[in-house]
Amino acid sequence: MSESNIDFMIQPQLKFSQDESGLEYIEIENRLATAKIALQGGHVMTWQPKSQDQPVLWLSSNARFIKGRSIRGGIPICWPWFGAHPTDSALCPHGFARVIPWQLVDADTLKNGATRLVLQMMETAESRRQLSYPHLLAMTITIGETLKIDLATTNKASHPFVVGEAFHTYFKVSDISNVHVKGLEDALYSDKVFAYERRVEKNDVRFNGEFDRVYLNTTADCMIEDTGLHRQIRISKSGSQSTVVWTPWADKAEQMGDMGAPDEWRTMVCVETANALENAVVISPNRTHVLSVEYSVETL
C-alpha cells in the first residue's frame, strides 16, 4: 500500500519517514495514543496512550537502526522459531521475521478512534532460504487506549508445519526492584539461567538477578505491577500457551552492547506472549493460527 492509496480519512493520523540507512517508519497519532512502527520486522517501537504520562514500551537509548539487525526494545516479533533454531544453530535466534521488511497492506480508523494497521511480512531471498515452504504472515495492530496485536500465520504448504513465536515485548518500568509479575503462580517453567532446569513457580515473580524463564502451558493474563510508576500493565492473550519473562541483569546487559546506559536495563522487563519449546504450534495446510495480545494500563 503506498501513501497515496491510504483512505483520506486516516491520512492525517499517519506520518511516513525513512532514515539515512533506508529503514522506513510509520508514526501514528490519534486522539487516544501515539505509536511508532519500523517496517523492518513489523516492529512496534513505541506506544503511549494519551491518558498516560509515561511510555508503556521501553526502547533502548542506543538501539541500532540497521538493515538486517533487530531493534533493541519495543516489540520484536520472534517467528518462525523462538530462541535457538531447533536443528540449525547457524540460523539467527528468534527467527528472521524481526529483521526482514514488512509492508503496510491496510489502514483504517475504528469507531472508538483507534487506528488499525495491517502489515504483511515480505518474502525475501533470506526468508526463502530459512523457510522453504509457502506461508503468509500478517499482523493487525490496533493503536488506541489499549494496544492490540494479532499475528496470523497461514500454512500455504501441502503438509503441516511447526511454528514457534513470540511478541518479545520490552516494558518500561521504574526500576526492576519495584516490579512484580503476577499471573504465573503454579506454572511449570524451563529456566535458561540454570541449564533449562524445570520447576514450578510458587509466587509472584520478583527479580534479584538474571532471569530467563519460559513458562509452559499457561494461558493466563499477566500483570506487571510497578509500585514506582504507580501502574499495572495488564497483558491479555489468546492463541498462546507460553509466557517468557526475561531481564539480563548487569553483566549480560553490558555484553549485549545495545542496552543503553550502564543501568538502563533496570528500567525494562520483557514479558513475552509466546508459543515456545513444546508449545510450538502445528499448523495444518490451508489453516491459519493467530497469536493475539492486548496491553492495557491500570493505575495503582
Residues that bind ligand BG6 (CB under 6 A): 70, 93-94, 168, 192, 212, 244, 246, 272
- Residue 187, classed as helix, strand or coil, is coil
Q: Verify whether residue 272 is a known catalytic residue.
A: yes
CA–CA gap between residue 39 and residue 100 (Å, rounded): 8
CB neighbour list of residue 131: distance below 8 Å, 6 or more residues apart: 80, 96
Q: Compute the least distance from the CB of residue 16 to ligand BG6, in Å.
A: 26
Burial of 114 (C-beta count, 10 Å sphere; 0-12/13-18/19+): buried
CB of 299: closest distance to ligand BG6 in angstroms?
29
Catalytic, out of 43, 94, 168, 201: 168
147 vs 268, beta carbon nearer ligand BG6: 268
Partner residues linked to 106 by β-bridges: 118
Which of 212/225 has CB closer to ligand BG6?
A: 212
Report the nearest approach of ligand BG6 to the CB of residue 214 (Å).
Answer: 7
Contacts of 77 (CB under 8 A, 6+ apart): 41, 42, 43, 97, 98, 139, 151, 165, 166, 167, 168
Closest approach of ligand BG6 to the CB of residue 92, in Å: 8
Q: Which three cell numbers stand for residue 241?
A: 500457551
Neighbours of 228 (CB within 10 A): 14
- Nearest approach in angstroms of CB 62 to ligand BG6 is 14
Residue 29 vs 191, nearer CB to ligand BG6: 191
**DSSP label of 21:** T
Q: Write a three-state SS string for 94-113.
A: CCCCCCCEEEEEEEEECCCC
Q: Which of 165, 201, 225, 272 is catalytic?
A: 272
Residue 31 CA to residue 34 CA, distance in Å, equals: 8
Q: Which residue is nearest to ligand BG6 (CB)?
A: 246
The residue with cell 513475552 is: 272
Instruction: Between 86 and 160, name the residue whose CB sits nearer to ligand BG6.
Output: 86
Distance CA 225, CA 91 (A): 36
Smaller CB separation from ligand BG6, 97 or 114: 97
Catalytic site includes residue 168: yes
Report, as residue numbers or ranges, the catalytic residues.
168, 272
